[in-house]
A and B are shown apart, each in its own frame.
Chain A
Amino acid sequence: MMLFYLVLTLAIYFMAKKVYQKSHNMLFSPLIVCPIAIIALLLSFHVPYESYDQGGHWLTLMLQPATVALAVPMYKYRKTVKKYLMELTVSVTGGAIVAIVTSMVIASFLGINSELVASLAPRSITTPLAMSVSKILGGNPSITAVFVICTALIGTIVTTIMLKYIPIKSPVTKGMLYGVSAHGTGTAKAYELGNVEGVIASLAMIFMGIITTFIAPQIVTLCFNLMNVYL
């Protein structure tokens, strides 16, 4: 059965990918179609997630090597990194702080419990990093993984819509927005716009991951302390 769920996921993924490449409509993104189709199957046949994950976890395991692989574009585009180092450090650090602080403050205002608030904080970075950070923050890494996916989808859609209405022409800014707001999915979308957008998005996503990992513990503690005093 383990192999069955793995093959099923692969089959649905590559079919969805074909459809998406033809339509370029976010609603057909494999990240929306596959989970919905498989969840529907699991629920209608009363299959527990643990059984599915015996096959599925092989894919999750590949997330870390895929993250490590990001060293290749980082090395290949080291000239771009040097050229836009200012954007990549200043904008991304600012973006990381805004993402963490606003997530925590808005969530606390809405009365969401502190374990979920901690799980929300690292939502803007790629899953393996987000899960490690979530564990350090006292969140639930598996729930964080779900928030990371929601961020990927909502971030890509929001950025695409906003770029339609905000007069931004620079491909650097466009790439930066996709990489910071929607990590992997945003980067894939940015490559559809052009190579510069894609490269900047992937670099922004890597910087976002590394910077968030280093600053999240301090910022989150500070936020919790301030919110205890003022909220």
Chain B
Amino acid sequence: MKIVSILIQILGLCAISFAGNVLASALNIGIPGSILGILLLLVVIEQKWLPLEKIELGANFLIAEMLLFFIPSAIGVIQFQDVLKNDWAQLLFVIGASICLVVVFVGIVTEFIIRFRESRNAS
């Protein structure tokens, strides 16, 4: 029975996601359908139109298996062999270097905020 309710909840999430896309193309203000979908679902849960328990199982399942849904796009790299053939090493370097800078920056800023809050709470 659990599988059936997970499936129904996933269908519900697909419907909300679809509604997000319809809204995105109707509004046409450059906000992606996924974000409108998140907002839509937040409103629906917040307003208790849909209790959290009625969507949580499906949502947790999709989030837990998120990696699975990335796989076909990862395999998509074979379409771009020509484009990426010359630059792949540079591109990997760019991504790696940029990530290192992001980690250092976010690490420093977050630790700073946390310590600032602790010192304020302590005094």
Contacts and interface: CB of A to CB of B under 8 A. Distances in A.
| A and B from one complex | yes
B62 to A, nearest CB: 4
Interface string B51-95: 010011011101101111111111111111001100100111111
A13 B71 CA distance: 9
Contacts, number: 280
A75 B71 contact: no
A34 B40 CA distance: 33
B72 A39 contact: no
A177 B107 contact: yes
A20 to B, nearest CB: 10
A151 B99 contact: yes
Interface residues of A, number: 95
Interface residues of B, number: 72
Interface of B is mostly: helix
Contacts of A147: 91, 95
Interface in B2-22: 10, 13-14, 16-17, 20-21
Given A98-B98, A181-B106, 18 more contacts: A56-B71, A60-B73, A76-B52, A90-B113, A98-B106, A106-B94, A112-B90, A112-B94, A116-B87, A124-B102, A126-B66, A127-B70, A132-B33, A142-B79, A150-B91, A172-B110, A184-B70, A206-B38
Interface of B: 10, 13-14, 16-17, 20-21, 30-35, 37-42, 45-46, 52, 55-56, 58-60, 62-63, 65-80, 83-84, 87, 90-107, 109-111, 113-114, 117
